[in-house]
Structure 1
Amino acid sequence: MSERAVLEVIALDAEDAIAARAGGADRLELVTDMAADGLTPPTTTLTAVRSAVDIPLRVMLRLTDGFAAGDVDRLVRVAGELRAAGAEEFVLGFLEAGGGVDLGAVERVVTALDGCPWTFHRALDHATDRDSVRKQLDGLPGLDTYLTAGSPAGVDEGLPTLLSEASRAGDQQLLVGGGLRLDHVPTLRRAGVTAFHIGGAARPGGWSKPVSVEAVREWRRALDAG
């Protein structure tokens, strides 16, 4: 029997979190401001979500749209505030202007996380050299997941890359998300992908509407069938 796949759902608030859990999500990615592709939520949102559900959640560390780190001092401060408020897992990823990983910024923030598990997000898809990014990040404390579509354009275009990377054994889990559709699931599951990330797919009514229990449940069924 194949390994049960992890389903991670983007949540903006406690209502989303409750619906995602009810639909069968294993983990949440907690963000705010999806118009900017997901920024760091306020600590009040974190505490509300943590009070509402007990499933794991990863909190975004990203202050501005794009993949530049911006104010790293502030990022470090915010990471500390979120940890003090109960955050135990995180999502981050910073690139330099030329498309290489901003290793200095990543290392400073990771130091502030003090061993907490974290995901390097889709900055990987926008890097000039994905393999170089992974080599440079190798060994950083807490890094256990890469969120990727295989391409900046999404899973449709990135599928060959994802299938290739899924076949390589590694210490980090491949979490596939970004233009992911239900019809991608069987191919990805056959290739050995064990983690899936959805945002808009959990909200048939769009980002102005809450997560749909039934939409998440449909994904849960598809992953379990795969």
Structure 2
Amino acid sequence: MIIEVIADSVSDARMAQVAGASRIELISGALEGGLTPSYGLIKAVCSLRIPVNVMIRPHSRSFCYTPEELEIMINDISICRELGATGVVFGVLTDQNEIDKAALDQLIEAAEGLDITFHRAFDEVTDQIKALRILQTYPEISRVLTSGGDEKAITATTRLQQLVKESEKSHLKIMAGSGLTADNTAQFLAKVRVKEIHIGSGARINASFSHSIDPEKIAAFIKIAGCLN
């Protein structure tokens, strides 16, 4: 199982790597849901051995972007490639909370050759099955990060398993995230057969982004995943 861990510093990323995490989602602004980190931070973290997917999100107001903001995102993607990132993480919606296919086309073109995650903008769409079917038409997108439309993944197990089933015959993977902890993940994975999970505060001391990553918590997630394989 892939265990992706959010990092917002070099020390976080290094601890996640040593603890055995599969991949880093590198962000800034954790309390705003994640924003694009600085180029210096991207360069430093990408010098580690662990794969790094970088958040591409210029603001936290919405997932709707102006042409100027899209140009910024495209430039950020280009710089991520130059700095050695494995992939990028983004999501774009229309004012009607549907997938913005025109904007998505531009970002995917810019991200050619990079691993792509469509992030939790997906949790704000009006129809997740419809949105998933749209995203399945893009072979460049590897996965969708989602909590099933709820604030926490653990309360949306029925919907998440429905999304997993809907994705089984496509290339697109469902990565579950939001609110997963070492205490609830075994229960969650018994109900939702995902192959990738996304860990944020659940990997940190006091379950808070105000504190650093706790390697023992990452080890606990790895043990749980290993027991279910």
Could you tell me the TM-score, scaled by structure 2's length?
Answer: 0.90
Q: Which amino acid aligns with 1:126?
A: E
Distance 1:68 1:208 in 2: 28
- What are the equivalent positions in structure 2 for 1:150-161 lying under 5 Å apart? 150-161=148-159
Distance 1:152 1:97 in 2: 20
Moved more, 76-85 or 131-140: 131-140
Q: Identify the residue that residue 204 of structure 2 maps to in structure 1.
A: 203
Unaligned regions of 5+ residues in structure 2, if any?
none
- What are the equivalent positions in structure 2 for 1:55-94 lying under 5 Å apart? 55-65=50-60, 66-70=62-66, 71-94=69-92
How many residue pairs match? The answer is: 221
Q: Does 1:118 pair with 2:116?
A: yes
Distance 2:88 2:112 in 1: 11
- What are the equivalent positions in structure 2 for 1:1-226 lying under 5 Å apart? 5-51=1-47, 53-65=48-60, 66-70=62-66, 71-168=69-166, 169=168, 170-182=170-182, 183-189=184-190, 191-205=192-206, 206-226=208-228
Moved more, 121-130 or 182-191: 182-191
Indicate conservation of the 8 Å contact 1:163/1:188, yes or no.
Answer: no
Distance 1:24 1:87 in 2: 19
Indicate conservation of the 8 Å contact 1:115/1:141, yes or no.
Answer: no
The 4+ residue runs of structure 1 with deviation greater than 6 A are: none
Distance 1:14 1:189 in 2: 33
Moved more, 26-35 or 96-105: 96-105
Indicate conservation of the 8 Å contact 2:55/2:88, yes or no.
Answer: yes
Distance 1:31 1:112 in 2: 19
**What is the deviation of 1:68?**
1.9
**What is the deviation of 1:99?**
0.7
Distance 1:187 1:135 in 2: 24
Indicate conservation of the 8 Å contact 1:151/1:157, yes or no.
Answer: no
Q: Deviations over 1:28-84 (max 9, x none)?
A: 000001121100111110111122x21111111101103223411111111112212
CA RMSD, 1 decimal:
1.6
Distance 1:63 1:162 in 2: 28
Could you tell me the TM-score, scaled by structure 1's length?
Answer: 0.91
Residues 105, 150 of structure 1: alpha-carbon distance in 2 compared, 3 angstrom cutoff:
same
Aligned identity (percent) is 28
Unaligned regions of 5+ residues in structure 1, if any?
none
